[in-house]
A and B are shown apart, each in its own frame.
Chain A
Amino acid sequence: GAVVSQHPSWVICKSGTSVKIECRSLDFQATTMFWYRQFPKQSLMLMATSNEGSKATYEQGVEKDKFLINHASLTLSTLTVTSAHPEDSSFYICSAREDTATNEKLFFGSGTQLSVL
């Protein structure tokens, strides 16, 4: 089946630094990918929709300058948390939408646990 690889699975960084998270569709092309954030014991919250070759669409309340999204190819989207602070510590999950002629499916990465000291 289709696989989405998310890397790294776990990262610790110092406050003020930037962290990049990668989301790759391994065996299919994904024009659209999604980035979610999950706090402990809470729902996955959609942060933004990443569109290949164009600007990402951010959900209300998500700072686009803080969470930079780049979707330069049909198999890779990156989320960069800039000038990270402890409140950015969270679990980030990506998903990729497989576009086929007859079906549309979402496949999820395994997530990235970010801890900002």
Chain B
Amino acid sequence: AQSVTQLGSHVSVSEGALVLLRCNYSSSVPPYLFWYVQYPNQGLQLLLKYTSAATLVKGINGFEAEFKKSETSFHLTKPSAHMSDAAEYFCAVSDIGQGAQKLVFGQGTRLTINP
């Protein structure tokens, strides 16, 4: 069975500082990996996804994530935080054979940006 662990339910950084949100996955088959962002009172938006091509994936809003098979990790980073990045972030994994269908989500990390 697949699973996702997001380390830290709450991360707080200063505006302009590096953002690092951690995600480790467990999968018996090659995975698809996703990061979603949820702003207050809105649906989940796809930030980026890994689908077995390049291990460094660039997404929207300056975010990127690197797939490290040896560490079973897919951490999300952004060099310089902006106030508008404050939101809930979810890491998710899917079986390659299922594509964008059945997603298993992590518990989420709330990102707070301090002025």
Footprint of B on A, CB under 8 Å?
4, 6, 9, 32, 34, 36, 41-46, 49, 93, 95, 97, 104-111
Contacts and interface: CB of A to CB of B under 8 A. Distances in A.
A106 B91 CA distance: 14
Interface residues of B, number: 20
Contacts of A34: 101-103
Contact of B43 (A49, A104, A110): A110
A46 B103 contact: yes
A41 B46 CA distance: 20
27 contacts: A9-B41, A32-B101, A34-B103, A42-B107, A43-B4, A43-B90, A43-B104, A43-B106, A43-B107, A43-B108, A44-B105, A45-B105, A46-B102, A49-B101, A49-B102, A93-B43, A97-B100, A97-B101, A105-B100, A106-B46, A106-B100, A106-B103, A107-B43, A110-B41, A110-B42, A110-B43, A111-B43
B44 interface: yes
Given A43-B108, A95-B44, 12 more contacts: A9-B41, A41-B107, A43-B4, A43-B104, A43-B105, A46-B103, A46-B104, A97-B101, A105-B46, A110-B41, A110-B42, A110-B43
